[in-house]
């Protein structure tokens, strides 16, 4: 049997290889009896348009235009054809052409702007696919073509691209992933990271595990959480679709309340192989992040070991260790194919040095996407990708054995020594993470051209993470040494079937869709550590005199089915109603299937007879939908944790359990419009949204005196998010040689905990969940008399304190931890010869962030650069003349936990990029482009925020609910030159 199957597979593999080879090589051989279509695609201002899909209608023949707008379709049989040119943001244009054998036929296209793209096809959040005009919710489409800067990661690709889409930069360590929030947080206990699909296949979206031992809660390592999103090579991406809330994500069911991001990778098209090569070279640079002062006390013997001049406070004493990290990236792809098989193949190698001395991130990847059309009605799409990410980190974060903490604290560090040679002893620790990622997806589409069509997708995503860190024998802070190794295998299996049937009723139609989806995730973890080695050398875990090991295996199943009806009246009015019914293995035993309804409507007002074309194009839309978030695997069950202790088996209480536990449910209403006018020179889209999460999964606290677990998830809470999104795009000036585009966006988010279901306010990770306050609230210490020449008088406004109670609790509500207002700006200047300069900036504000290092630094009597003014008083013996605000900030006698909370408003220039087309300057090339880009190189902070960076995250990384500052470095700026050559 095995032999037989092996033979079958072998024949299949040979057949595939032969077909592919034929597609790549055989096409030119038949060219003599065939014709060629070629031409240029330009905008109405006659500027060449690249990345336009030009293809013969009804066939797979076609390709993309180069940077000079040129395209070429070879091997076309003689005859008359309809040729179509399509690019997001431009009107689709179809022209007729007659091809003669052995001749080259010229066909040029001039595409007008279409800011609304009402006939663009959208896939995410719809049953099958839909035109934008049919959709009642807002949807973001990011086309890779529109991004001028070389994209180092998918995180950065999404940054500042749309109102309501917030991507926080995280920390400056290599491999640090970004937190993504779509319209705020819809959950206080479950993940708020959107779920991610790649070419229809659900893939891992949650952070990779930190490389730290379970025995070291304080995080003896780099304290970096990498993002699975960044395993994807940005150069492979064609476009990204983002739906921001439940109004659009209903069909994804129980796990989609935080939104959905779907990535579409590039595909091949019929024609000769088109080779593309890209080389990026640049560097990362850490910008100063603290006041440039010198607060070293004169004559303090404890500072005697600090070499004068080697440190600066603007880098918090890290100067001797910092470097400009070299960045390099090489990628190559080839796309082409024959009528029945097209291919896109790519490979990349990315080497990225961090600014900390041991930081490094290498990426190697390859992709093969194939489109196979065995029959006219059937298309098989196979997408496969393998990526390897290797990260090496400097020990950092809130970590007594970390570089950053010990440098920040100088003589008060864990060596009690500020000498860089001593602090540098921590660099003997070797911290490495490797992720091998394999994603395979196959979609079979059946579209006979009639009323019925269907699509079936199966997908497999596997990420194998290998964490390893070594503190060698003789390590200063752990002389016996320690080796920790952690092997994790995450898999996600997707099966997705959808079918649609369209009833034509004259000028109206009704499209009924139904389908089912199953997502099974499995996590397998084996961890081990060995400590106390016999001597120097390269140990394995076995070499430790003491060894520990752990194992975790978790499998979760979420599956359901849906139905949807889309009624189209006159291609102007669209009404969609649908329902998704879900089950999940994490639901309580007493809970059945869960149903999530949706309804939406859109009206293309500009297609009405009464509409004056001078008003432009306008679509009104409204949508309501629900989706959910499931509890954790074991949350519904009362469990005990079996562990060992001193060689004895032991049970400890773990989880209280709740058989009625179900998903939290987020309902979202959004209303808005899409408008473009002035010949598409000005476009706006506006959305008002309101999300309400009911049955919110709150970790209801139980008193420790009950003796079991001290919290249990219960469906008790209610919270809401509401706000607006406004996006403006304008073309101020547009000629063949010159053009100016400006854009701006506004996003607001106001959240509130509506109900705790009778539970007491609770906190976690420095955040508070409290009725009537934002999700999440930061509490801290404030003072009443900042200007008085006296000791600080603490505020005490705790609403929970009853009249007559002593004011013991000084933690007063301060404000939200997530931005409440975000403004985006972008600009593009187009110049002769296709040279283009673009810029993007982003302001976030209205929120607060906790600054742990300053709090702990002042508490430890460390001379802190933000206290220079206070030291002027104390060093001169007139500390009693210092105002209360300075004493409160800088005198440890008045230390309280939660003192250092800053207004976190900031503005950053995300990138400034110059793109220079080089044409065929490089010998043998069809065209090439040189791009120069500076990213995140300018930061403005609120005056009340004197140190660090408001986008930093704690040891827990981007998986934590809210950011807070810990002993990390801010994200670095980067400067890149990129050369892209097409052959």
Interface with other proteins in residues 775-814 (CB under 8 A): 800-802, 805-806, 808-809
Q: Is 443 in the site for other proteins (CB under 8 A)?
A: no
Instruction: Tell the smallest beta-carbon distance from residue 405 to other proteins (Å).
Output: 10
Of 81, 70, 82, 67, the C-alpha closest to 39 is 70
Q: Which is nearer to other proteins, 501 or 983 (CB)?
A: 501
Q: In degrees rounded to 5, what are phi and psi of residue 194?
A: -60, 155
Q: Is 503 in the site for other proteins (CB under 8 A)?
A: no
Q: Which is nearer to other proteins, 1 or 808 (CB)?
A: 808
Output the DSSP codes for 246-265.
HHHHGGGGGG-TT-EEEEEE
Q: Which is nearer to other proteins, 106 or 552 (CB)?
A: 552
Instruction: Tell the smallest beta-carbon distance from residue 383 to other proteins (Å).
Output: 21
Q: Is 5 in the site for other proteins (CB under 8 A)?
A: no
Q: Which of 73, 338, 400, 886 binds other proteins (CB under 8 A)?
A: 400
Q: Which of 324, 489, 491, 585 binds other proteins (CB under 8 A)?
A: 585
Of 252, 204, 193, the C-alpha closest to 522 is 204
Instruction: Tell the smallest beta-carbon distance from residue 497 to other proteins (Å).
Output: 5
Pattern 401-440, other proteins, x by CB under 8 A: x----------x-x-x------------------------
Distance of CA 338 to the CA centre of its chain: 36
The Cα-based distances of 433 to 222, 392, 516, 967 in angstroms read: 10, 6, 37, 21
Q: Which is nearer to other proteins, 388 or 524 (CB)?
A: 524
Span interacting with other proteins, options 93-101, 190-198, 757-765, 870-878, rule CB under 8 A: 757-765
Span interacting with other proteins, options 3-11, 259-267, 510-518, 901-909, rule CB under 8 A: 510-518
Strand, coil or helix: 223: coil
Which residues on adjacent β-strands are paired with residue 624? 599, 669
Q: Which of 451, 590, 732, 878 binds other proteins (CB under 8 A)?
A: 451
Q: Which of 26, 57, 292, 452 binds other proteins (CB under 8 A)?
A: 452
Instruction: Tell the smallest beta-carbon distance from residue 645 to other proteins (Å).
Output: 5
Cβ-count burial 178-203 (b if 16+ within 10 Å, e if not): bbbbbbbbbbbbbbbbbbbbbbbbbb
Q: Which is nearer to other proteins, 776 or 978 (CB)?
A: 776
CA–CA gap between residue 544 and residue 535 (Å, rounded) = 10
Q: Which is nearer to other proteins, 412 or 902 (CB)?
A: 412
Interface of this chain with other proteins, residues 554 to 583, rule: CB under 8 A: 554-557, 559-561, 583
CA–CA gap between residue 382 and residue 376 (Å, rounded) = 17
Q: Which is nearer to other proteins, 706 or 880 (CB)?
A: 706
Of 761, 779, 771, the C-alpha closest to 816 is 779
Instruction: Tell the smallest beta-carbon distance from residue 484 to other proteins (Å).
Output: 11
Instruction: Tell the smallest beta-carbon distance from residue 898 to other proteins (Å).
Output: 11
Pairing of strands 109-111, 35-43: parallel
Surface-to-core class of residue 305, CB atoms within 10 Å of its CB (0-12 exposed, 13-18 middle, 19+ buried): middle
Instruction: Tell the smallest beta-carbon distance from residue 614 to other proteins (Å).
Output: 44
Q: What residues contact 138, with CB distance under 8 A and at least 6 apart?
A: 243, 244, 248, 621, 670, 672, 685, 687, 725
Output the DSSP codes for 414-483.
TTS---HHHHGGGGG-EEEEEEEEEEEEEEEEE--SSSEEEEEEEEEEEEEEEEEEEE-TTBTTBTT-EE
Q: Is 642 in the site for other proteins (CB under 8 A)?
A: yes
Q: Is 701 in the site for other proteins (CB under 8 A)?
A: yes
Instruction: Tell the smallest beta-carbon distance from residue 867 to other proteins (Å).
Output: 15
Q: Is 765 in the site for other proteins (CB under 8 A)?
A: no
Q: Which of 509, 633, 694, 942 binds other proteins (CB under 8 A)?
A: 633
Q: Which of 121, 495, 746, 754 binds other proteins (CB under 8 A)?
A: 495
Of 919, 780, 928, 953, the C-alpha closest to 227 is 953
Interface of this chain with other proteins, residues 113 to 172, rule: CB under 8 A: none
Q: Is 542 in the site for other proteins (CB under 8 A)?
A: no
The Cα-based distances of 784 to 789, 792, 805, 814, 869 in angstroms read: 12, 7, 19, 14, 20
Q: Which of 456, 573, 733, 937 binds other proteins (CB under 8 A)?
A: 456
Total residues interacting with other proteins, rule: CB under 8 A: 95
Interface of this chain with other proteins, residues 935 to 964, rule: CB under 8 A: none
Q: Which of 309, 506, 535, 646 binds other proteins (CB under 8 A)?
A: 646
Q: Which of 96, 660, 737, 861 binds other proteins (CB under 8 A)?
A: 861
Instruction: Tell the smallest beta-carbon distance from residue 409 to other proteins (Å).
Output: 8
CA–CA gap between residue 634 and residue 639 (Å, rounded) = 8
Q: Which of 611, 673, 688, 895 binds other proteins (CB under 8 A)?
A: 895
Q: Is 214 in the site for other proteins (CB under 8 A)?
A: yes
Pattern 356-395, other proteins, x by CB under 8 A: ----------------------------------------
Q: Residue with structure tokens 């007559």?
A: 804
Structure tokens at 650: 């032991």
Output the DSSP codes for 352-417.
EE-SSTT-EEEEEEEEEEEEEEEETTEEEEEEEEEEEEEEEE---SS-TT-HHHHHHHGGGSTTS-
Interface of this chain with other proteins, residues 297 to 356, rule: CB under 8 A: 302
Q: Is 12 in the site for other proteins (CB under 8 A)?
A: no
Q: Residue with structure tokens 């009206």?
A: 603
Q: Is 708 in the site for other proteins (CB under 8 A)?
A: yes
Interface of this chain with other proteins, residues 216 to 235, rule: CB under 8 A: 216-218
Q: Is 478 in the site for other proteins (CB under 8 A)?
A: yes
3-state secondary structure 304-326: CCCCCCCCCHHHCCCHHHCCCEE
* Beta strand segments in 177-268, E: 179-182, 195-198, 201-203, 237-243, 260-265
Instruction: Tell the smallest beta-carbon distance from residue 571 to other proteins (Å).
Output: 23
- Quick one: residue 921, left, alpha or beta (phi over 0 = left, psi -120 to 50 = alpha)? alpha
Strand, coil or helix: 615: helix
Q: Which is nearer to other proteins, 31 or 497 (CB)?
A: 497
H runs (alpha helix) in 56-188: 154-158
* Beta strand segments in 570-663, E: 573-584, 594-604, 617-629, 639-645, 648-655
Contact 367, 232 (CB under 8 A): no
Instruction: Tell the smallest beta-carbon distance from residue 561 to other proteins (Å).
Output: 6
Instruction: Tell the smallest beta-carbon distance from residue 551 to other proteins (Å).
Output: 8
Q: What residues contact 326, with CB distance under 8 A and at least 6 apart?
A: 282, 283, 351, 353
Q: Which of 880, 892, 940, 944 binds other proteins (CB under 8 A)?
A: 892
Contact 268, 343 (CB under 8 A): yes
Q: Is 549 in the site for other proteins (CB under 8 A)?
A: no
Q: Is 288 in the site for other proteins (CB under 8 A)?
A: no
CA–CA gap between residue 182 and residue 438 (Å, rounded) = 27
Q: Is 657 in the site for other proteins (CB under 8 A)?
A: yes
Span interacting with other proteins, options 125-133, 262-270, 549-557, 938-946, rule CB under 8 A: 549-557
Q: Which is nearer to other proteins, 197 or 906 (CB)?
A: 197
Q: Which helix (H) or strand (E) holds 550?
A: strand 546-569
Q: Is 14 in the site for other proteins (CB under 8 A)?
A: no
Interface of this chain with other proteins, residues 49 to 78, rule: CB under 8 A: none
Q: In degrees rounded to 5, what are phi and psi of residue 810?
A: -95, 0
The Cα-based distances of 189 to 186, 203, 669, 928 in angstroms read: 9, 22, 23, 49
Q: Which of 281, 312, 339, 518 binds other proteins (CB under 8 A)?
A: 518
Q: Which is nearer to other proteins, 93 or 554 (CB)?
A: 554
């Amino acid at each position: 049997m095995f032999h037989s199957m092996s033979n079958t597979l072998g024949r299949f593999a040979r057949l595939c290889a032969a077909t592919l080879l034929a597609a790549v090589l055989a096409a030119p051989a038949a060219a003599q009896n065939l014709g060629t279509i070629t031409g240029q695609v330009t905008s109405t201002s006659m500027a060449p348009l690249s990345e336009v899909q030009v293809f013969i209608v009804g066939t797979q023949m076609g390709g993309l235009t180069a940077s000079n707008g040129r395209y070429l379709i070879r091997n076309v049989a003689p005859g008359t054809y309809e040729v179509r040119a399509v690019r997001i943001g431009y009107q689709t244009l179809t022209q007729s052409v007659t091809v003669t054998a052995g001749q080259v036929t010229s066909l040029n296209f001039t595409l007008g702007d279409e800011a609304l793209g009402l006939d663009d096809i959208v896939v995410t959040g719809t049953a099958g696919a839909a035109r934008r005009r049919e959709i009642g919710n807002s949807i973001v489409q990011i086309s890779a073509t529109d991004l001028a800067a070389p994209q180092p990661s998918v995180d950065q690709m999404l940054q500042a691209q749309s109102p309501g889409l917030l991507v926080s930069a995280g920390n400056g360590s290599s491999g640090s992933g970004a937190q993504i929030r779509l319209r705020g947080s819809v959950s206080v206990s479950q993940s708020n990271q959107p779920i991610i699909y790649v070419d229809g296949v659900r893939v891992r979206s949650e952070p990779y595990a930190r490389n730290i031992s379970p025995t070291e809660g304080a995080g003896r390592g780099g304290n970096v959480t990498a993002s699975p999103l960044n395993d994807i090579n940005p150069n492979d991406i064609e476009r990204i679709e983002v739906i921001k809330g439940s109004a659009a994500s209903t069909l994804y069911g129980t796990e989609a309340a935080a939104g959905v991001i779907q990535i579409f990778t590039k595909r091949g098209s019929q024609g000769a192989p088109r080779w593309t090569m890209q080389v990026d070279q640049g560097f990362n640079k850490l910008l100063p992040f603290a006041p440039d002062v010198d607060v070293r006390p004169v004559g303090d013997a404890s500072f005697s070991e600090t070499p004068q001049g080697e440190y600066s406070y603007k880098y918090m004493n890290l100067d001797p260790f910092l470097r400009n990290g070299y960045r390099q990236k090489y990628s190559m792809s080839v796309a082409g194919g024959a009528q029945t098989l097209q291919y896109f193949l790519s490979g990349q190698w990315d080497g990225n040095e961090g600014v900390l001395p041991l930081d490094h991130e290498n990426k190697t990847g390859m992709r093969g996407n194939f489109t196979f059309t065995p029959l006219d009605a059937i298309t098989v799409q196979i997408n496969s990708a393998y990526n390897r990410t290797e990260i090496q980190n400097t020990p950092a974060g809130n970590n007594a054995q970390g570089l950053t903490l010990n440098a920040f604290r100088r003589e008060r560090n864990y060596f009690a020594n500020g000498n860089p040679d001593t602090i540098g002893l921590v660099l003997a620790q070797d911290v490495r993470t490797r992720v091998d990622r394999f994603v395979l997806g196959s979609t079979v589409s059946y579209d006979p051209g009639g009323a019925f069509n269907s699509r079936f997708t199966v997908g497999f995503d596997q990420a194998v993470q290998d964490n390893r860190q070594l503190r060698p024998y003789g390590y200063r802070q752990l002389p016996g040494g320690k080796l920790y190794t952690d092997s994790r295998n995450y898999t996600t299996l997707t099966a997705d079937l959808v079918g649609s049937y369209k009833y034509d009723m004259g000028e109206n139609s009704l499209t009924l869709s139904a389908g089912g989806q199953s997502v099974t995730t499995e996590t397998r973890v084996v961890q081990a550590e060995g400590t106390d080695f016999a001597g120097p050398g390269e140990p394995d875990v076995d070499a430790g005199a003491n060894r520990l090991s752990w194992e975790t295996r978790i499998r979760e199943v979420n599956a359901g089915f849906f139905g949807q009806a889309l009624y189209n009246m006159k291609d102007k009015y669209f009404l969609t109603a649908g329902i998704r019914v879900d089950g999940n293995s994490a639901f309580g035993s007493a809970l059945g299937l869960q149903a999530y309804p949706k309804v939406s409507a859109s009206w293309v007002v500009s297609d009405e007879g009464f509409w004056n074309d001078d008003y432009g194009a306008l679509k009104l839309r409204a949508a309501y939908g629900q989706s959910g978030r499931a509890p954790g695997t074991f949350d519904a069950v009362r469990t005990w944790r079996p562990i060992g202790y001193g060689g004895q088996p032991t049970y400890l209480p773990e989880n209280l359990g709740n058989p009625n536990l179900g998903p939290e449910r987020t309902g979202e209403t959004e209303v808005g419009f899409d408008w473009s006018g002035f010949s598409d020179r000005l476009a706006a889209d506006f959305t008002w949204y309101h999300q309400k999460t009911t049955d919110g999964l709150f970790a209801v606290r139980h008193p420790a005196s009950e003796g079991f677990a001290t919290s249990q998830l219960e469906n008790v809470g209610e919270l809401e998010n509401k706000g607006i999104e406004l996006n403006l795009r304008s073309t101020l000036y547009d000629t063949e040689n010159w053009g100016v585009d400006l854009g701006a966006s506004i996003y607001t988010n106001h959240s509130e905990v509506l109900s705790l279901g009778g539970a007491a306010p609770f906190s976690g990770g420095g955040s508070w969940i409290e009725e009537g306050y934002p999700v999440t609230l930061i509490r801290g210490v404030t003072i009443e008399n900042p200007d008085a020449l006296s000791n600080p008088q603490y505020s005490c406004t705790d609403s929970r304190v009853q009249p007559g109670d002593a004011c013991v609790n000084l933690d007063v509500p301060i404000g939200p931890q997530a931005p409440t207002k975000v403004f985006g700006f972008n600009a593009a200047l187009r110049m002769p010869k296709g040279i283009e300069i673009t810029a993007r900036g982003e302001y976030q504000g209205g929120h607060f962030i906790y600054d742990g290092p300053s709090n702990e630094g002042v508490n430890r009597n460390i001379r802190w650069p933000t206290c220079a003014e206070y030291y002027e008083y104390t060093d001169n013996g007139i500390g009693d003349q210092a105002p209360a605000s300075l004493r409160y900030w800088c005198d440890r006698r008045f230390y309280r936990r939660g003192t250092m909370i800053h207004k976190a408003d900031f503005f950053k220039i995300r990138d400034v990029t110059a793109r220079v087309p080089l044409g065929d300057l490089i010998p043998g090339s069809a065209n090439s482009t040189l791009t120069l880009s500076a990213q995140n190189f300018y930061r403005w902070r609120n005056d009340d925020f004197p140190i660090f960076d408001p986008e930093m995250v704690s040891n827990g990384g981007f998986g934590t609910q809210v950011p807070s500052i810990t002993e990390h470095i801010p994200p670095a700026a980067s400067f890149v030159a990129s050369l892209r050559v097409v052959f």
